Amino acid sequence: MSAPPHVVILGGGFAGLDAARTLAHAPVRVTLIDRHNYHLFQPLLYQVATAALSPGDVASPIRWILRGQQNAQVLLADVRGIDTAGRQVLLDASAGEAERVIAYDYLIVATGATHAYFGHPEWGTRAPGLKSLDDALEIRRQVLLAFEAAEREQDEAARRRLLTFVIVGGGPTGVELAGALAEIARQSLRQDFRTIHPESARIVLIEGSPHVLGAFAPHLRDAAKASLQRLGVEVRTGSVVTTVDAEGVKIGDERIAAQTVLWAAGVAASPVAKSLEVPLDKAGRVQALPTLQVPGHPEIFVAGDLCALQQNGAWLPGVAQVAKQGGAHAAKNIIRAINGQPLASFHYKDYGNMATIGRGSAVAEIGRLKVSGVIAWLMWVLIHIFWLIGFRNRVAVMSEWAWFYFTLQRRVRLITGERLWPGAA
C-alpha cells in the first residue's frame, strides 16, 4: 500500500491551525511546523501588553490543541526556506543536528506577517510593534517602567517625557492600545504613586489618514474618536511620522518628546514568501490564484496574512476571520485534489469588524448592524470569549475582565527582565 499524501503546514496561527483541523479525517499525513509551541489568539494580544491578561490566557500549546488528531504531527522549528523544485521545506538545524529537510506532497504556507516601518527598519528598535507574546511582554515592560522612572525623576521636563506615550497607527490595534493605556494611567495606577500623578500622562495616537478605524462606517469612526478623547487621548489624524529616535517622534517639523513609542501602523508578510520565487505585492504577500494556490505551483497554497487576494474589487483584510476561512479552504482544496475533483475558488464571508476603545466602549459593524458604546462592547466580549481556544482560557479571561470592570484594576502589572533601566548592565 502506498503512503498517504504528506501535507505540510507552515505556521500555527489561525490559518494553519484551521487547515490542520480541517484535514483531521482526510486520508493524509499532516505535519504542522511553527517556530513557537503555542497558538496565539492575537486579537487579545494588546491586553497582555497593557497588563490586563497573562500570556497563558491568550495562548494554548499547539500539541495540546491537536492531541486527539492522530494523523497530525507538530514540529517546533524555524523555516529557512522552501525548495519548490524538490518539494522540500528547509529547516534551521537544532543544536547538534544537521540541517533538516521535510518533503511534502502538498504545502500550505501560513507564516503570517511581521512589522513594517515604511522603509525605516531602524525604527524597530525604538518603536516595538505587537505581533508576538515577546512583543507584548516588552511593551508591558516599557510602559510600566516609564511610570517607575518618572517616580524617581526630579527634572520636570524629563518627567513629562517619561509620561508621554505615542502610538503610531490608528487601526484597531492602535486604537485599542491607546484606550487601554489611558485606562492604565487614569484608573489602574492612579493611587499607586506618591511623587507623580499617573492620570497626567500624555497619550498621543497618530494616524496618517484622515480617520482612525478607516475600515469602519463614518459614524463609528467618529464614535471611536470621541471615546478616545473622553479618555484623554490626543488623536492626531492626517499626520505622518517622519522620524522615530531616542527622544521621541517627529511629525514634519513638530517634535513630540516621548519615552515610549509603540508601532501599530503597518505589516509586511513573512520573509518565507520570498523563497517561493513568485511575484509578491508591495507588502511581500503572494498574489494567489482564486483557489489559494501559488501561481505555477498547484501543490502549494497560501493563507492568512501571507495571501493577497481580491474579492469584489477590494483586497481581503489581514484579520483572523480571513485567515481561519482561508486555511480551512486551502485544506478542503487539497482534499478535492486528492480525490480528483475540481478545486473551488475562495469566497470570504465577512462576519463584521469590531474594536474596543476601553471599559464599556466599543464599535461593531456586523452586516447592516452598526452600533457603538456598551452594546457593541458586550458583543465584543461575547464573541472574543467564544473564539478563544480552551475552557480554561475562557474562564480566566472572563474572570479578569469582570475583575477589571468592577475594580478598574489590572492585576498583571509585573515588570519582568533582569535589566530594569536602559543602559543598565
Catalytic positions, please?
Answer: 176
Contacts of 423 (CB under 8 A, 6+ apart): none
CA separation for the pair 416, 342 (Å, rounded): 53
CA separation for the pair 60, 113 (Å, rounded): 20
- Evaluate whether 128 touches 167 at the Cβ level (below 8 Å): no
The one-character DSSP state at 282 is T
The one-character DSSP state at 413 is -
Contacts of 134 (CB under 8 A, 6+ apart): none
Contacts of 339 (CB under 8 A, 6+ apart): none
CA separation for the pair 345, 224 (Å, rounded): 36
- Evaluate whether 181 touches 357 at the Cβ level (below 8 Å): no
CA separation for the pair 110, 75 (Å, rounded): 15
CA separation for the pair 329, 14 (Å, rounded): 12
CA 176, 181, 186, 192: dihedral to nearest 10 degrees? 140
Amino acid making up residue 379: M
Cell representation of residue 138: 516588552
Amino acid making up residue 44: L
Backbone angles phi, psi at 185, to 5 degrees: -70, -45
Distance of CA 236 to the CA centre of its chain: 23
Residue showing cell 497530525: 72
